[in-house]
Amino acid sequence: MATIIEMPKLSDTMTAGTLAKWHKKEGDAVSSGDMIASVETDKATMELECFEDGVILKLYAAEGDEVPVGAPVCAVGEKGEKAPDGDASAAPIAEAPAKDEAKPEADSPAPVEEKAVAGSEAASDTRVKASPLAKRVAAEKGVDISSIEGSGPGGRIIREDVEKAASAPKAAKPASKAEAPSPAKSAAPAVVVGLPAEDVVIKVNNMRGTIARRLLESKNTIPHFYLEIEVDAAPMLALRKKLNEGLADQGVKLTVNDLILKGAIEALRRVPAANSSWLGDKIVQYGAVHMAFAVAIDEGLLTPTIKDADRKSIRQISVEAKDLAAKARDRKLTPAEMSGSTFTITNLGMFGIENFFGIINPPNGAILCVGATVKKPVVNARDEIVVGQRMRLGLSCDHRVVDGAVGAQFLAALKKLLESPELMLA
């Protein structure tokens, strides 16, 4: 008997999902555990799993459709069987269980809009079609999965394809179009990269719409105020170099962001009032630091959360941050991994931004904004003008819960830790 698969509820806040990409088509065979589609929620893109064996009898939603939670997306049954008409009462319902029902907090900055290029495919069509196992094996073996030709159904990359690619001899990198010999006469003028020929209308997806509403609510309802401090980054950079040299044989490579994360976590332990939330009729001062940090991806910005970060060493923080960042770039973060933060850090230093102030992500009481490290003339303790390495840190605070003195104390504690970074390891 045919089974209708509904749009699952993947988070407490989800009311609908956008069918971003079908990995199967009508008539394709499926087995329990197959990932049949990618669904874009208000927080991330999730995989829709099939829990039936059979063939896809009918697809009730097209790519790009917004499907309400509980509405049918496809029917699975035996080959030749008539597909139900899509009425939930016409056949047994197999609703994929939610990946995680933990309530996500609004701590993800809004993703950037998908870049529209004239003549290109939609962003969802450029995603690599691969099984979760194939992606994991590719990551373990260091194989670029986007360069593999899939042999599975619909060109899907499977584990055997990855293992074959990993064992194959490395081929010389083919010449790019720019490196290829050019003909004596050009058949057409070079393509100029720039503005599209005409206006491009970009549909607001679930994630961007939800985050936009939350950030607007944050800016309109939270009394923001801003503090800034300049830090001598030279001691932190020196410690990072020393640690990486000493731990190189163990495969450890700390980043500047790892040290800033650790420093902010330790500063919150020293100034716990900054690790608080305003909940209307009460203020909650948390007993643990759940540190969120921004990760840039092609489609925008996500903020995974390191839970119980105050109980972890800098090495543990570094490993977990890298793992979460990789999952964010693969759009594989679960709602639980993006929820429950008590504090957020956003860093634009890699883009050359020296100072900025972010919008608070409720229910956090503050967000730390990290700028670029720049060389500039400074006056040392002997009143000499020397070359220094300086970093500016901005703090956006919710004045209902973080007073000016509390914010200043937090930044002072963080400055002390970053300028005497050995204290972070004590």
CATH of the domain at 141: 4.10.320.10
User: Would you say residue 182 lies in a domain?
Assistant: no
pLDDT band at 205 (very low <50, low <70, confident <90, very high): confident
What is the tens place of the pLDDT at every residue in 179-189?
Answer: 433 334 434 44
For residues 54 and 137, membership in a common domain is answered with no
In a shared domain, residues 163 and 224:
no
List Cα–Cα distances, 268 to 272, 324, 344, 396, in angstroms.
5, 22, 12, 15
Q: What is the mean pLDDT of the chain?
A: 81
Q: Report the CATH number that the domain containing residue 232 is assigned in CATH.
A: 3.30.559.10
> In this structure, what is the dihedral angle of CA atoms 135, 140, 146, 150, given to the nearest 10 degrees?
-60
pLDDT of residue 202: 81
Q: Establish if 91 belongs to a structural domain.
A: no
- Give a yes or no: residue 184 inside a domain: no
Reduced DSSP (H G I as helix, E B as strand, rest coil) percent helix, strand, coil of the chain, to 5: 30, 25, 45
**Minimum mean pLDDT among 40-49, 64-73, 120-129, 303-312: which range?**
120-129
pLDDT exceeds cutoff 60 at 69: yes
Query: Do 162 and 213 sit in the same domain of this protein?
Result: no
- Say whether both 370 and 238 belong to one domain: yes
**What's the pLDDT tens digit per position in 163-177?**
778 777 554 444 444
The verdict on residue 115 lying in a domain is no
| Pairing between β-strand 366-379 and β-strand 343-347 as defined by DSSP bridges | parallel
For position 367, what pLDDT does the model report?
Answer: 97
Strand residues in 338-416 grouped as ranges (E): 343-347, 366-379, 385-398
Number of folded domains that form the chain: 3
Between CA 391 and CA 411 the distance in angstroms is 13
Question: Using one digit for the tens of pLDDT, what is the confidence trace for 300-359?
Answer: 678 899 999 999 999 999 999 999 999 988 888 888 898 999 999 999 998 999 999 999
Specify whether 216 is located in the same domain as 345.
Answer: yes
Q: Which residues, including other chains, have CB under 8 Å from residue 334's CB and lie 6 or more apart?
A: 44, 46, 99, 100
Q: Which domain holds residue 328?
A: 208-425
Q: What is the pLDDT of residue 421?
A: 95
Q: Is residue 189 a part of any domain in this protein?
A: no
Residue 220: which residues within 8 A CB-CB, separation 6 or more? Answer: none
Judge if 250 and 134 occupy the same domain: no
399 is catalytic: yes
Q: Give the dihedral of Cα atoms 336, 135, 253, 287; nearest 10 deg.
A: 10
Tell whether 281 and 348 lie within a shared domain.
yes
Same domain as 136, residue 58: no
Under 8 Å between Cβ of 252 and 244: yes
Using DSSP's 3-state secondary structure scheme, residue 373 falls into: strand
Q: Are 139 and 7 in a shared domain?
A: no
Q: Which two tokens stand for residue 141?
A: 């073996």
Tokens of 132: 């979760």
Helix pair 234-246, 256-270: axis angle to 10 deg: 120
